[in-house]
Chains A and B, each alone.
Chain A
Amino acid sequence: MFSNYVSVALRNLVKDKLYSFINIAGLAIGLAACVLIALFVRDELSYDQFWSNADRIYRLNTTFNTPGREPMVTVMAQGPTKDALKAYFPEEIEAVTRFNSMEVVMNKDGSVFSEILMWTDPETADIFDLEVVAGDLRQTLQDNASLAVNESFARKHFGEGNPLGKTVTINLMDIERDYRIGAVYKDLPHNSVLNFQGLAKIDENDFTKQNWEFSQWYSVNNYVYFTLKPGASIRTIEDRLDDFVDAYIEPPAAIGNAKSSTYVQYSLQPLTDIQLNQAGARDMEMKPTGDMGTVMAFAAIAALILMIACINFTNLATAKSTQRAREVAIRKVLGANRRQLVIQFLGESTVIAFIGLMFGLVLVEVALPFFSEFVGKDLVFDYFDGGTIGVLAGLMVVVGVLGGLYPALVLSGYRPARVLKANKSAESSGSARLRSALVVMQFAISITLIVSTGTVYGQKLYATRLDPGFNKENLLVVRNTSNSGAVSKRDAFKEQVLRIPGVVDAAFSSDAPASGNESNISVRVADDDGERTVLIGVHRVDYEFFETYEIPFLAGRAYNRQNALDVTPNGFAAEPGDLLQGNIIVNEGALGRFGFGTPKEAIGRVVKASVGNDVQAQFTIIGVIPDIKFQSLKEVMRPEVYMLASFGFSNLNVRYIGDPRPVVAEIEKSWKSMISTVPFAYDYVDEVMAQEFEAVESQSMLLGVFSGLAIVIACLGLYGLAAFTAARRTKEIGIRKVMGATVTDIVRLLIWQFSKPVLIANLVAWPVAVWGMLSWLENFPYRMEAWMLAPLCLIAGLIALGIAWATVGGNAAQVARANPIKALRYE
């Protein structure tokens, strides 16, 4: 009995090659896409699960609720929280550690290079069970002259020999010290949000001049992680976080006499939740993280693609069922009952699913390296690891049953007498209608995917082509100009750079475009009842900044060297309590915040701000510029002031003309000749700005690939349906031809039959796609115009229709050309 089923199944496969090919190819592609996406999703979900304390490690995130602004969420916290947490929650918290990443200059045997190291506390060794391969991590982290490094770092700088005990000289701010390699740990797996190649102990005495790094309550620079004591509840901590804030933090002037907890708020994030749950700006994490939305979107795409393949299966099987009606009838006459027949047909579809899966696995093996590279992970597909086989077998059965159930029920329900006697189309109109509905669904999914791909890509184009308000072309930034080895020489360096042929302008600034840096000052503005404090973004810039960036002025003028008042006064050169005078340039957004009316009206108005050392200065507005998108294209525009102050000048912005390569080469030569202890580093501004959208770009490419696959599978199905339908309609086509229909008439008839579902699919897909994409676009402060979705929808519809026509057209022409009398013979 069973072998009879199998042999019938296999014989059917061989006999109907087109049918088998379409089913197997569709399933293979669908299952391969599913497996690849599943690997990606599983990887994203696996982040940081491997730590033995994974379930009780939390991170402290800080939110600033600045009055009148969007809350600023950071994934870091202030240095003093480490001791404060431990003291305030002794019953709940086991250990706290901080991570603060710093770029250092290293000197090893006379060669100078820069590396990024992580400053941390000894508790890191207790909280995170790093895999130590040599040395003693705990001891290393107790010592402010020892380094723990990962294997890659050790190999890079010490070769294959034993690095333990070797020394490097580290220059960082006031530190100039020999560090001994005390421990080597295995590189962190890629599925961790933590990322550091070397660890050094935080000794707060090393940073007394930079006390904001670890010792101030107003600066957030540290990732703060802690372990919860076993059995303790995270809720107890969460409930008392506001009290914790009020106990430790003085309320800032900007919030008047409200409690600190209205201004600073903490939240606790489980370590394993960080990868997919974006708490703050993503580029503030140690490395870029993923997000749940993307994971869900890809999981959904996988399910949809598989669904399209299953639909092919169902459709072709019901379309073909008339051909098998006779077999069913005979089996029934010979005593088979319905249940046996259902099992037979489900068995057959499972066999096809199995073969599809086998080919799918081949595709996975072929595509995995490319896919891995594309998503930037080293994904491995291990057949024998935890339930992979079980999942695959499950997938096969699900697909087999999903695709085969309806045809099995229809086929097994045939009444033998009718089939055998009438020998006419035994098909009910119900299954034909179901088929059309399913084709509509396939194409609706495909069209939605095309629209999504187009939108994601369009948004990427829009964002990268957006006019930022300055000229980002022909502009480069030389970095590191505020490092200790460079500060004293940077003015001379700038002079040198200006002399290089091809250099048009150069100016220092504290920030460069797309840095995402957030720096604010409190400004006091006079109003009807005295004074009001406004927190506002600040950039510190050089005289030539506006000229170099080609930023137009809405009113007033740029800073110039003739005017001594333009320079931001230095509070440390005055007596506490003094009121100094200065000039300032602001953007249009700041005028709104100050309540200063139009740019022209604002010129000459004054605001007050602290200039350090408890000294206030009165600033007169001398220029207003538009809201340039300097900080990041991913953030909403903020009100900003641009102060002429050399504090934190870590970038030299250089405008050039012509070929940048000789210019860069010359700049590098000058740098090396003047500044030997700091590595030369530079970026092109337009590239840096485009990088912000790399993730979106790769998303759009992946979406494109998967929507392409979806369409291919849907068209395979359509092709099969067209073939079967044409075969079923030969009699009708014959009659029409006898009545005088031409080949064109018939082709038009058939193509229209297949266009209808595609057209209906458009009506289904458009609202869904538009709604989905509009909400996706909400993620971007600067987004492409919503009406652009209309042409995208139209284009997607035309693409789908065009592909459908191309798919059924050839077949239709062939059928239409056949001689009608063949179809009408009745012997």
Chain B
Amino acid sequence: MLKMHNLSKIYRTDEVETIALNNVNIEINSGEFVAIMGPSGCGKSTLLNIIGMLDNPSEGDYLFFDENVARYSEAKLANIRKRHIGFIFQSFNLIDELTVAENIELALLYHDIAASERRDRVAAVMDKVGIAHRAKHMPSQLSGGQQQRVAVARAVVGNQSMILADEPTGNLDSAHGQEVMEMLQGLNEEGTTIVMVTHSPAHADYARRTINLFDGQVVTENLRAA
């Protein structure tokens, strides 16, 4: 599905130059469940952002379905992104001023989808993650676990083939964390590719493959026996 070749990301600010990713070579196939681990600041989020086309790499190639998107413009990336990729963040990133349903609908808003179909799909996905009874609530009225379910719903409502989750359980207690992991596992079993950053070895165990990053470089890759 995607392939990275000698990919680097360098942040330049006025004074310092940070090499966030250094010569990364990764290949991820459709239907995989990959966990990315590593100490804080090693470049996990950066990698995920580039995979998710929220950012361009500084050097190297990024092939997404055999299309090299490394130098694509923001608008072009946005167009690919919204068709294929869903996001889940550690801090949920729901819009405080919108209801649960509206937050989920947001992922369809920028596609050409009729309002009635949007409503149906939002309702279906809310059922699936078990928050249908909270549709009219505001995010601030929900627990962390519930908010993350909304985020998961938002990530999949557009039938995205890949979900990128950056520490999705980082702000949750273990019970809620477990719930979210099971939800992700379920999605993976239905065929969704999942790439997840996590600090928890237990949660990494849900993945078939673990990539360990250190200082912007891939140090090891472990494959869990099926």
Partner of A731, one of B45, B87, B93, B111: B93
Given contacts A735-B93, A736-B106, A826-B89, contact A742 B55 (CB under 8 A): no
Q: Which of B74, B93, B106, B109 contacts A824 (CB 8 A)?
A: B93
| B78 and A740 within 8 A (CB) | yes
Chain A at the B interface: SS class: helix
Q: Which of B113-139 contact A (CB under 8 A)?
A: none
CB of A739 within 8 A of CB of B109, answer yes
For residue A826, which residue of chain B has the nearest CB? B91
Chain B residue numbers with a CB within 8 Å of A732 are: 95-97
Which residues from B are CB-within-8-Å of A416?
Answer: none
Q: Given contacts A732-B95, A732-B97, A824-B89, is CB(A738)–CB(B54) below 8 Å?
A: yes
Shortest beta-carbon distance from B113 to chain A in Å: 11
**Bound state CA distance, A734 and B106, in angstroms?**
12
Chain B residue contacts of A740, Cβ below 8 A: 78-79, 81-82, 107, 110-111
Verify B111–A820 contact, CB threshold 8 A: no
Expressed in whole angstroms, the Cα–Cα distance for A743 and B76 within the complex equals 12
When A and B form their complex, what is the total count of cross-chain residue pairs whose Cβ atoms lie within 8 Å? 55
A519 at the interface (CB under 8 A from B): no
Is A425 close to B, CB under 8 A? yes
Q: Which residues 384-431 of A sit at the B interface, judged by CB distance below 8 A?
A: 424-425
A102: Cβ under 8 A from any B Cβ: no
Q: Is the beta-carbon distance between A742 and B106 smaller than 8 angstroms?
A: no
Query: Does residue B188 face the partner (Cβ distance < 8 Å to A)?
Result: no
A802-827 contacts to B, CB under 8 A, are 819-821, 824-826
Q: Give CA–CA (A731, B89) in the complex, Å.
A: 13
Within 8 A of A (CB), among B59-86: 74-75, 78-79, 81-82
B90 contacts the other chain (CB 8 A): yes
Q: State whether B89 touches A821 (Cβ < 8 A).
A: no
Chain A residues within 8 Å of B107, by CB:
739-740
Known contacts A732-B97, A819-B55, A824-B93; is-contact A738 B110 (Cβ 8 Å): no
B-contact bits for A533-553, CB 8 A (1 contact / 0 none): 000000000000000000000
Determine if B106 and A739 form an interchain contact, defined as CB atoms under 8 angstroms apart: yes
- Please give the number of chain B residues whose Cβ is less than 8 angstroms from any Cβ of chain A in the complex: 26
Is residue A737 contacting chain B, with contact meaning CB distance below 8 A?
yes
Q: Which residues of A contact B91 (CB under 8 A)?
A: 826
Judge whether B54 and A819 touch: CB under 8 Å.
yes
CA distance A732 to B106 in the complex (A): 11
Looking at the assembled complex, report how far the CB atom of B77 sits from the nearest CB atom of chain A, in whole angstroms: 10
Please give, as numbers and ranges, the residues of chain A lying within 8 Å of B90 by CB-CB distance.
Answer: 826
Give the chain B neighbours of A745 by CB distance below 8 A: 110
**Chain A residue, CB-CB nearest to B46:** A821
List residues of chain B with CB within 8 A of the CB of A297. none
Do A742 and B75 touch (CB < 8 A)? yes
> Residue A741 at the B interface, CB < 8 A?
yes
Does B185 belong to the interface (CB within 8 Å)?
no
Provide the bound-state CA to CA distance between A113 and B15, in Å: 84
Q: Known contacts A739-B107, A740-B78, A742-B78; decide if A820 and B54 are in contact (CB<8 Å).
A: yes
Q: Is B110 a contact partner of A739 (Cβ separation < 8 A)?
A: yes
Identify the closest chain A residue to B111 (Cβ). A740
B178 within 8 A of A: no
CA distance A738 to B78 in the complex (A): 8
Contacts of A741 in B (CB 8 A): 78, 109-110
Known: A735-B94, A740-B82, A819-B55. 6 other contacts (CB 8 A): A731-B93, A737-B78, A738-B93, A742-B75, A826-B89, A826-B90
Pairs A-B, 5 closest by C-beta atoms: A740-B82, A740-B110, A826-B91, A821-B54, A732-B95
Q: List 10 A-B contacts (CB under 8 A).
A: A731-B95, A732-B97, A738-B54, A738-B81, A738-B93, A740-B107, A741-B78, A741-B109, A745-B110, A821-B54
